Structure 1
Amino acid sequence: MFSKLTALVMGGMLVAGSAMAQDTNIKFTLGWKTQGSDAAYLLALEKGYFKAEGLNVVIDQGEGSGATVTRIMSGAYDAGFGDVNAIIQNASTRPQDSPVMVYQMWNQPPFTIGVKKSSGINTIKDLEGRTLGGSQGTPTMRLLPVFVRKNGLDASKIKTTNMAPNLQEPMLIKGDVDGVLVFNITSYFNLVLNRQDPDKDYKWFNFGDYGMDLYSNGMMVSRKLIQTNPKAVAGLVRAVNKAMLEIGKDQNLGMTAVAKYDNLVDIPVEKRRLQYSFDNLIVSPEMKEIGIGDIKDDRMARAIAIVVEGYQLERAPAVSEVFSREFLPPKSERALTYTKN
């Protein structure tokens, strides 16, 4: 009788222990198809950094950095890599449902106007009298009127035409449009894949250089996850931060994880994209001052005002509705050193 009772008790303890030891399941969406700029998430997965935090993270490809927000709001995903400006839009009308940015990765905005150097467009004033192509609903297209106003351009002299995203670079190459309203980290490499030289033959007017002081992509999580399992959120941030610091010093380490996740990626091109993200979107004086992952509240407030104007939102969400630094490691643990290799 004693042995049976002991066996039952021991069995119950094993079951309970097994239940307690189970990892928290996290469904994570990337911003798009697998790219080199996703390396931190894939390295954290491949090296077991998520597991070490008690997390069972499943990573899926995405449908656009703005779509990350809607995927999380639908309840299909717990976290993802996406655009903070899409959070601002949704937080304006559905603050109780909109996700929260918890690790701001891209400190600089990728929104840009790309033109051929041979077009004669040497300054933004030269955009007047020209036709710009863009995909309807994208931030670069929607925020163009704010860009125009802030820089004293004549909106009546700048024509825009809507086109599918996959047609923007081909039409620019052919000369069917004078410029394209795009994401630099996307368009630059679309030109590379079209056997163009985006440095030698093209010029880029990045919004961030012309008064559009916006943040962009990073890791966001659902409000439900924050409320029900803040420990998991902190674990996600620690794991990704650890991977980011390692990739800053060794991009090949990140690309090994990317290739393991998706063996169809073009490794040389995607390594260039990863390095491009550091050179143009991540490393900045602000990032060096406050550490990777954080923001400046006053700058975010200005960014929110730009998005409110561009998207004609009725309510400006508070910074706290958009971003939380509650889960960030100390600044000393977020000091990123970038060495291109």
Structure 2
Amino acid sequence: MRSWISAVAGAVALMGVAVPARADTDIKFALDWKFEGPSAPYFVAIDKGFYKAEGLNVTIDSGPGSVAGIARIAAGTYPLGFFDINSLVKFRDQNPDKGVKAVLMVYDKPPFAIVTLTKTGIAKPKDLEGKVLGAPAPDGAYAQWKAFVKENGIEAEKVKIENVGFPVREPMLADGKVDAITGFSFSSYFNLMQKGIKPDEIKVMLMADYGLVLYGNAVVVNETWAKANPKAVEGFVRATIKGIAYTVANPEDAIKSVMKRNETGDEKVELARLKMAIKDNIATEWVTANGIGGIDRDRMTKAIEQIAVTYDFKGPKPAAVDIFVSDYLPPAAERKLK
């Protein structure tokens, strides 16, 4: 009987019948927002086959913002996502039983900004005194206001805060109904341009350039899923780093991967938005020197202390290792910008 089975097996092999290949691991990845220029690295990693080469079948969904998005990662709706690490710090404090950690830093500097127009005369943070600041209450940039005030010696009582809705934030600034707004630099800047404001009339003050040591958005993972699928996480991180490196080196080509999925967008605007994010948030001096994806532990510790200026922790302040793990990163030599 054994010899008969062996003979059949040999015959099958000779006939060239292939054994089915191992199926790719399906991954649903969630962005924090829409399919815009800064989301290019992930779509590049799909189109260039970087994820496929790691045995991953990745699909990408737009998102509702970091707060709701992180909750989806914690619930297991998505195993991986791209969200604000400062929101993650607060989420873990409020939900100590929910395992979510950052595994790949993408925005070495956050896009949190104060945006104004040159005609207001606001050229530096102290100039906000005596002015009206339009700030949506749930805005990620406005969440840093107290720390920004502290770092820049602003007398907060001299700044009138007006709670405005997200859709009317830039229109109110353009119409002179507020003197400045809080927002993401690469969102508010281009929203104002679409309102007819010329680039040289727009003043963007990145909070990271005025005392904030905070990090920005990172790839975060559901810890339970990561423990069950460590190779998939490593592969996703490695492929995403390749996508980031390619995007930084080839933004004009990379933006096409976004526009294939955003047919109503303006390619020139999204390319300019992507280039702004690369310059201000992604390819910083630190990343150029140290490689894509990692963090400086001392800086993260200081960032958590800075978060405590704007947020009252319910439990002990976390350590950097509680928020970000480098276990899934490839060696630094493989993370260099080309």
Runs (4+) off by over 4 Å = 1-8, 17-20
2: CA distance between counterparts of 1:283 and 1:50?
22
1:253 shift after superposition: 2.3
> 2:15 matched to which residue of 1?
none
**Counterpart for residue 190 of structure 2:** 189
How many Å separate the matches in 2 of 1:137 and 1:218?
A: 20
Match in the other structure for 2:299: 299
Distance in 2 separating the partners of 1:117 and 1:6:
84
Which AA in structure 1 matches 2:216? S
Question: Which blocks of at least 5 consecutive residues in structure 1 are unaligned?
Answer: 12-16
Secondary structure of 2:200's counterpart equals coil
- Answering whether residue 311 of structure 2 is matched by residue 311 of structure 1, we say yes
Match for residue 39 of structure 1?
Answer: 40
Q: Is contact 1:111-1:140 (8 Å) kept?
A: yes
Partners of 1:213 and 1:302 within 8 A in 2: yes
How far did 1:2 drift? 8.6
Does residue 188 of structure 2 align to residue 227 of structure 1?
no
Aligned partner letter, 1:132: L
**How far apart in 2 are the matches of 1:39 and 1:102?**
19
- Name the counterpart of 1:14: none
Corresponding residue pairs, total = 331
Structure 1 residues 296-305 or 138-147, which shifts more? 138-147
Tell me if the contact between 2:189 and 2:202 (Cα under 8 Å) persists in the aligned partners: no
Asked whether the equivalents of residues 87 and 98 of structure 1 are also in contact (C-alpha less than 8 Å), the reply is: no
Q: Alpha-carbon deviations, 1:292-324, whole Å to 9, x = none?
A: 111100001111111122122233111111111
How far off is 1:223 after superposition? 0.9
Structure 1 counterpart of 2:74, one-letter code: M
TM value normalised by structure 2: 0.91
Following TM superposition, by how much is the alpha carbon of 1:218 offset from its aligned partner in structure 2, in angstroms? 2.2
Structure 2 counterpart SS, 1:34: coil
- Equivalent position of 2:71 in the other structure: 70
> Relative to structure 1, is the Cα distance of residues 283 and 162 closer, same or farther in structure 2, using a 3 angstrom cutoff?
same
CA-atom RMSD in angstroms:
2.3
- Tell me, what secondary structure is at the counterpart of 1:261? coil
1:129 deviation in Å?
A: 1.4
| 1:75 shift after superposition | 1.5
Q: Is the 8 A contact 2:102 2:220 kept in 1?
A: yes
Structure 2 match to 1:173: 174
Q: Residue 72 and residue 6 in structure 1: after superposition, are their counterparts in 2 closer, same or farther (change >3 A)?
A: farther
What corresponds to 1:148 in structure 2?
149
Alignment correspondent of 1:27: 28
Separation (CA, whole Å) in 2 of partners of 1:318 and 1:95: 13
Using the TM superposition, give the Cα deviation of residue 234 of structure 1 relative to its aligned residue in structure 2, in angstroms: 0.3
Distance change in 2, residues 1:55/1:96 (3 Å): farther
Matched, 1:204 2:204: yes
User: Using the alignment, how far apart are the partners of 1:208 and 1:73 within structure 2?
Assistant: 28
Q: How far off is 1:286 after superposition? A: 1.2
Matches within 5 A, 1:237-252: 237-252=237-252
- Which ranges of structure 2 fall in alignment gaps of 5 or more residues? 13-17
SS of 2:325's equivalent in the other structure is coil
Taking the TM superposition and a 5 Å limit, the aligned residue runs for 1:74-113 are 74-113=75-114
Q: Is the 8 Å Cα contact of residues 23 and 55 (structure 1) preserved in structure 2?
A: yes
Check conservation: 1:171, 1:177, Cα contact below 8 A. Answer: yes
Structure 1 counterpart SS, 2:211: coil
Residue 262 to residue 204, structure 1, CA distance change in 2 (3 Å): closer
